[in-house]
Structure 1
Amino acid sequence: MSEQTANQPGISAGIIVHGNRVLMVRRRVKEGELMWQFPAGAIEDGETAEQAAVRETQEETGLTVEALKLLGERVHPKTGRLMSYTACSVVSGEAHIADAEELAEVAWVAHAEIPEYVPYGLFEPVQEYLDGELAAAE
């Protein structure tokens, strides 16, 4: 682990598929090339990656979700932060900008639209999960 990742908490992202779309958010402040991403935030002390994904999704979008499974972890090539990706399903609520300081926009993105939102591609286990979930719905 680099000095940077060792001193910072990991980031956990929720991969929320509902119907035939995946939830993406656009941050107010860009992180380098990252414009659109999944709801995500720092894993707090005593929290699992799955719990953080559920909490961050609720805080950012107002959507109540439950964790299904951890899809994978990596050091993000754009930010250098340790990332965890958790597949989640919607329990209740409507996605909206619940944290206006952090988010500028939320979108339910169709499978074919993902490259428009994330032109540099997704983490392979996330892409494989979405290919399976969203392609089946098309």
Structure 2
Amino acid sequence: MNRPLVGAIAVVCHRDRIILVQRGKQPSAGMWGFPGGHLELGETALQAAARELLEETGVTAHPLDYLTNIDVILRDTDGVITQQYLLAAVLCEYQQGTPQTADDAEQAQWIAIADLDSCGLPLLDQVAEVARLAQTRMQNR
């Protein structure tokens, strides 16, 4: 029986910019989104977000809190569900490092949040909304 998978994404907001990666593997190869991946057994989503961030970009950040959850339901051309994920978006505080391509990311870079709607990158669903939520949360800390 197929079941939804649980993952975590690291939303690192620093100086009104966020770190995005271009996915190198399916699903969504070529699309830009937050670094992240599956939880490992015994790992919290906060721990997974920090680990995946480091593995994919070489950047170290401290996970602060859960930001939101994102439901991702992928369907084939006939509308049949092929994969389903529940992603915990984790707000992370930047500590050190420059985004470098690693693991399954094709590219990694800082992007100005104000430029997300006009940057021309193919963004995954909800990236801009989650980035703005992170920016607001960081400003209110």
TM-score by length of 1: 0.78
Structure 1, 33-42 or 73-82: larger mean CA deviation? 73-82
Gaps of at least 5 residues in structure 1 are none
Structure 1, 59-68 or 123-132: larger mean CA deviation? 123-132
Query: For 1:112, which of 111, 114, 122 is the aligned residue?
Result: 114
Provide the rounded CA distance (Å) in 2 between the counterparts of 1:113 and 1:124. 9
Match of 1:71 in 2: 67
Change over 3 Å in CA distance of 1:91–1:120 after alignment to 2: closer
Provide the rounded CA distance (Å) in 2 between the counterparts of 1:32 and 1:60. 16
Match of 2:87 in 1: 83
For these two proteins, the number of residue pairs brought into alignment is: 129
Please give the root-mean-square deviation of Cα atoms over the aligned residues, in Å.
Answer: 2.7
Match of 2:2 in 1: 3
Change over 3 Å in CA distance of 1:84–1:59 after alignment to 2: same
More helix by share: 1
- Matched-pair contact (CA < 8 Å) for 1:17–1:133: no
Query: For 1:97, which of 101, 106, 111 is the aligned residue?
Result: 101
Provide the rounded CA distance (Å) in 1 between the counterparts of 2:36 and 2:123. 19
Q: Percent identity?
A: 27
Provide the rounded CA distance (Å) in 1 between the counterparts of 2:107 and 2:131. 22
Match of 2:10 in 1: 14
Provide the rounded CA distance (Å) in 2 between the counterparts of 1:58 and 1:93. 9
Match of 2:57 in 1: 61
Equivalent position amino acid for 1:4 in 2:
R
Provide the rounded CA distance (Å) in 2 between the counterparts of 1:28 and 1:92. 24
1:122 lines up with 2:126 in the alignment: yes
- Matched-pair contact (CA < 8 Å) for 1:71–1:125: no
Query: Which deviations, in whole Å up to 9, do the C-alpha atoms of 1:45-97 show, x marking residues without a partner?
Result: 11111100000001111111100110122321445211110000111222111
Structure 1, 36-45 or 68-77: larger mean CA deviation? 68-77
- Matched-pair contact (CA < 8 Å) for 1:68–1:89: yes
Q: CA deviation at 1:131?
A: 5.0
Equivalent position amino acid for 2:121 in 1:
Y
- Matched-pair contact (CA < 8 Å) for 1:11–1:40: yes
TM-score by length of 2: 0.77
Provide the rounded CA distance (Å) in 1 between the counterparts of 2:122 and 2:68. 18
Gaps of at least 5 residues in structure 2 are 75-82
